[in-house]
Structure 1
Amino acid sequence: MIHELREYYVAPGKVAALHNQLEKLAMPLFKKHEIKVIGFWNTMIGENSNLIYICEFKDLSHYEKAWKSFINDPEWINGKTEYEKEGPLTVRIVSSVITPTSYSPLQ
């Protein structure tokens, strides 16, 4: 099992639009493309206005296949274009594929 940690640095004034895009557009497509979301988090205390989420995959092959099919899905392409017609929702996205340590409670 591997996980992906994704951190979105939100564009000014775009927090609500990003949450809407994730909830209404991305979540159903994540399910369709077998991307299991473990959870979403907002920054409560910290320097940046960002959103963090973690996805779970069987292995690296599953990760690559799932994201490739997701980003090429016409529903995602068209929906993302619609959500971003007034500008991008994020200024930066950081993605890291992570694996648990041998002593991690989450395996």
Structure 2
Amino acid sequence: MIHELRIYHCLPGRLPNLHKRFETVTLKLWEKHGIRQAGFWTVQVGESNNDLYYLLEWESMAECERKWSAFASDPEWLAAKAASEADGPIVGHITNMFLKPTPYSSVR
């Protein structure tokens, strides 16, 4: 199992818009494309409360590339993303990394 950590650094005041997009559109499309999420988090205490953190689970890099590409080019996603950003961008930039568990990790 491969875990991908994605961090969406939202523009000030736009995190509620990102939450709404995930809740109403993104998660349904991920289900359609077989994308599995392991959890979502926001920062309660820390550097920035404009960020959304989440983990995705992949069986392999090939699965990630295939499913993410299909999702990213889905006309329903492209239309929903454009509509959600009609009054301006939501995310300033995205950080993502693929994590490898340590030998002593409880998550494999």
Alignment TM class, shorter chain as reference: over 0.9
Structure 1 unmatched runs, 5+: none
C-alpha displacement of 1:81? 0.2
- Identity percentage over the alignment? 37
Q: SS at 1:92's partner residue? A: strand
Q: Which residue of 2 aligns with 1:12?
A: 12
Quick one: distance in 2 between partners of 1:99 and 1:33? 24
Q: SS at 1:28's partner residue? A: helix
Q: Tell me, yes or no, if structure 1 residue 83 matches structure 2 residue 84.
A: yes
Aligned runs of 1:1-107 on 2, under 5 Å? 1-48=1-48, 49-107=50-108
**For the aligned residues, what is the CA RMSD?**
0.8
Quick one: distance in 1 between partners of 2:47 and 2:99? 23
Q: SS at 1:85's partner residue? A: coil
Q: SS at 1:5's partner residue? A: strand
Quick one: distance in 2 between partners of 1:12 and 1:94? 17
C-alpha displacement of 1:14? 0.9
Runs of 4+ with >3 A deviation: none
C-alpha displacement of 1:33? 1.0
Instruction: String of CA shifts for 1:25-59, please: whole Å, max 9, x gaps.
Output: 10001111111001000111112121100000111
Q: What's the TM-score once normalised by structure 1's chain length?
A: 0.96
Q: SS at 1:25's partner residue? A: helix
Quick one: distance in 2 between partners of 1:56 and 1:99? 12
